[in-house]
């Protein structure tokens, strides 16, 4: 259907809805209205903005099951994980409601002036391009701090979660935000380039694949736009020989298979010291067997189909190519439409796709390391730099090695996860810029030097 986009329930293929692409005139109107709204929104007091955040939080809480159900229908996430996603969004909103004033207040600097300080002024319209795997969290993770800082937002969400995108827009309006403060548009790739080029757009936030991120970065550079990139990852999970598997195996399994493995910060490469290698395989296999596959709308389901059949086909191809290079399938490996069996691959080496590419599905690659030093070398042997996990009882040993890990995050005895209180972002091919915490709210402000004598 030309000029239309159809959404489907991945588990059954059922058609959910059909949406019209925006015309160029509709996009022009959205930008014009956003620019007009910015002139007044930037002057709204922070106290009023915080009050709107509180209402936004309440509305999400009241509509939690409705929002979670929509997430599950559009991209197939197990319902209990969709509920957890909305809970995390509420946490995010409450965090900025509590801390925005502190983060955005003028920063006094002592100089020879009578008064000198850094003023944090909003930039204007910020264009967000967001992915489907966490439809509410990804959009709000970008939007909440950005809009609270005084910017207005135009969101281009992934085509398979347009219902979620429009529901987010509706929630902002119900919370009392000006009508054009947050807008969702449904645009083509060509229209996206035109939007980035538009002088009214003052910044771009993109979360998605490395390939798409390079294109967005190229466009942002061409038009000199501030940009934050949150791209792919191939996170290593290092299992030290002293790791307490009895205590942490459920976390270790969840680190790979949450959201059916469709997470940039998932543990994709398990690098295991050889003394514990066989024991780890046994524990990990047992952990997978406990997961319940089924209809994602059922509340007891742990793992379901992937979000689209073409995504499952890509993962299947990565498995096949890796097996052709010598990897062994311990369990899983089969695909049925959008479903990929939870898969464990052993004998994985750095020349294989499951080691050197991002695998966005329920596939765990297990690599044997001679010792911890070798494990860190293998972990760092990646073009990505989003995060590393280490499971060990010797925390001091890890503290001494922090500088050896070149990623944006290091988590010890816990899976890498985003937390509103901590900055989130990567290095190398995982992007640049930071979201969340104080750093996130300051990405799209003008840190203006003010000097009064």
The pLDDT of 16-38, averaged and rounded, is 98
Residues 287 and 366 in one domain: yes
Q: Report if residue 106 sits inside a domain.
A: yes
What is the chain's alpha carbon radius of gyration, rounded to the nearest angstrom? 23
Q: Report if residue 386 sits inside a domain.
A: yes
Q: Which of 21, 11, 35, 20 is nearest to 303 (CA)?
A: 11
CATH classification at residue 348: 3.40.309.10
48 is an active site residue: no
Mean pLDDT, the chain, rounded, equals 98
pLDDT at 1: 64
- Alpha-carbon distance values, 10 to 75, 165, 258, 314 (Å): 6, 18, 17, 16
Q: Report if residue 316 sits inside a domain.
A: yes
Q: Report if residue 197 sits inside a domain.
A: yes
Q: Which of 187, 220, 190 is nearest to 29 (CA)?
A: 187
The pLDDT of 276-283, averaged and rounded, is 98
| pLDDT greater than 70 at residue 212 | yes
* 260 CB-near residues (< 8 Å, 6+ apart): 76, 77, 78, 303, 304, 305, 306, 361, 362
Q: Report if residue 425 sits inside a domain.
A: no
* 302 CB-near residues (< 8 Å, 6+ apart): 78, 257, 291, 292, 293
Residues 124 and 272 in one domain: no
Burial class (CB in 10 A: 0-12, 13-18, 19+), 297: middle
Residues 272 and 388 in one domain: yes
Residues 274 and 380 in one domain: yes
Residues 285 and 318 in one domain: yes
pLDDT tens digits along 355-405:
999 999 999 999 999 999 999 999 999 999 999 999 999 999 999 999 999
Please tell me which residue in 230, 273, 357, 358 is annotated as part of the active site. Answer: 230
Q: Report if residue 30 sits inside a domain.
A: yes
**309 near 275, Cβ under 8 Å?**
no
Q: Report if residue 62 sits inside a domain.
A: yes
Domain hosting residue 344, numbered range: 235-420
The pLDDT of 112-140, averaged and rounded, is 98
Q: Report if residue 239 sits inside a domain.
A: yes
Residues 187 and 276 in one domain: no
Q: How far apart are CA 417 and CA 408, in angstroms?
A: 11
Q: Which residue has the tokens 């069996």?
A: 341
The pLDDT of 313-334, averaged and rounded, is 98
Provide the pairing of β-strand 335-336 with 343-346: unpaired
- Alpha-carbon distance values, 23 to 129, 180, 188 (Å): 18, 18, 10
Residues 20 and 89 in one domain: yes
Q: pTM here?
A: 0.98
Q: How far apart are CA 179 and CA 29, in angstroms?
A: 13
pLDDT tens digits along 260-272:
999 999 999 999 9
Q: How far apart are CA 124 and CA 41, in angstroms?
A: 10
Residues 147 and 23 in one domain: yes
264 is an active site residue: yes
Q: Which residue has the tokens 């691959």?
A: 345
Q: How far apart are CA 259 and CA 263, in angstroms?
A: 7
What angle, 0 to 180 degrees and rounded to 10, lies between the N-to-C axes of helices 135-148 and 162-174?
A: 40
pLDDT at 2: 79
Residues 212 and 280 in one domain: no
CATH classification at residue 70: 3.40.605.10
Q: How far apart are CA 331 and CA 371, in angstroms?
A: 26
- Alpha-carbon distance values, 210 to 159, 215, 408 (Å): 18, 9, 16
Provide the pairing of β-strand 15-20 with 4-8: antiparallel
Residues 393 and 442 in one domain: no
Please tell me which residue in 89, 237, 264, 435 is annotated as part of the active site. Answer: 264
Residues 213 and 349 in one domain: no
pLDDT tens digits along 399-430:
999 999 999 999 999 999 999 999 999 999 99
- Domains contained in the chain, number: 2
- Burial of 199-210, coded b for 16+ CB within 10 Å and e otherwise, reads eebbbbbbbbeb
Q: Which of 79, 112, 185, 162 is nearest to 451 (CA)?
A: 112
pLDDT tens digits along 230-255:
999 999 999 999 999 999 999 999 99
Residues 67 and 100 in one domain: yes
Per the DSSP assignment, residues forming a β-bridge with 269 are 236, 365
Name the E strands within 232-342: 235-239, 267-273, 328-331, 335-336, 339-340
């Amino acid at each position: 259907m030309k000029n239309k986009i159809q959404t489907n329930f991945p588990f059954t293929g059922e058609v959910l809805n059909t949406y019209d692409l925006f015309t160029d005139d509709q996009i022009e109107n959205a930008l014009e209205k956003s620019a007009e709204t910015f002139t007044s929104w930037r002057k709204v007091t922070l106290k009023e903005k915080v009050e709107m955040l509180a209402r936004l939080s309440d509305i999400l809480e009241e509509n939690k099951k409705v929002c979670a159900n929509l997430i599950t229908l559009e991209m197939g996430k197990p319902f209990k994980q969709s509920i957890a996603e909305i809970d995390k969004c509420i946490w995010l909103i409450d965090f900025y409601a509590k801390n925005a004033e502190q983060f955005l207040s003028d920063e006094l600097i002592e100089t020879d002036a009578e008064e000198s300080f850094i003023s944090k002024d909003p930039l204007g319209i910020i264009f967000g391009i967001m992915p489907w795997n966490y439809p509410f969290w990804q959009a709000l993770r970008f939007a909440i701090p950005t809009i609270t800082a005084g910017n207005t937002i135009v969101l281009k969400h992934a085509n398979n979660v347009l219902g979620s995108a429009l529901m987010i827009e509706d929630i902002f309006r119900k919370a009392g935000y000006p009508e054009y403060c947050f807008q969702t548009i449904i645009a083509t790739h060509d229209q996206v380039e035109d939007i980035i080029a538009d002088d009214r757009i003052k910044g771009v936030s993109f979360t998605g694949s490395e390939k798409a991120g390079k294109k967005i970065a190229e466009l942002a550079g061409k038009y000199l736009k501030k940009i934050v990139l949150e791209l792919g990852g191939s996170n290593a999970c290092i299992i030290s020989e002293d790791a307490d598997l009895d205590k942490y195996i459920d976390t270790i399994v969840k680190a790979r298979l949450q959201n059916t493995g469709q997470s940039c910060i998932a543990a994709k490469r398990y690098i295991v010291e050889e003394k514990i290698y066989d024991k780890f395989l046994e524990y990990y296999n047992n952990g997978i067997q406990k997961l319940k596959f089924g209809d994602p709308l059922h509340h007891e389901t742990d793992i379901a189909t992937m979000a689209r059949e073409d995504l499952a086909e890509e993962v299947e191809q990565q498995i096949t190519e890796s097996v052709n290079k010598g990897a062994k399938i311990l369990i899983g490996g089969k695909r049925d439409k959008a479903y990929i069996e939870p898969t464990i691959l052993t004998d994985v080496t750095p020349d294989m796709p499951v080691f050197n590419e991002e695998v966005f599905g329920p596939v765990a690659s297990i690599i044997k390391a001679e010792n911890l030093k070798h494990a860190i070398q293998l972990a760092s042997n990646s073009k990505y730099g989003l995060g590393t996990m280490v499971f060990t009882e010797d925390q001091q040993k890890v503290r001494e090695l922090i500088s050896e890990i070149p990623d944006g995050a290091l988590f010890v005895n816990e899976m890498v996860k985003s937390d509103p209180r901590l900055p989130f972002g990567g290095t190398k091919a995982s992007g640049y810029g930071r979201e969340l915490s104080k750093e996130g709210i300051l990405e799209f402000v003008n840190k203006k030097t003010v000097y009064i004598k």
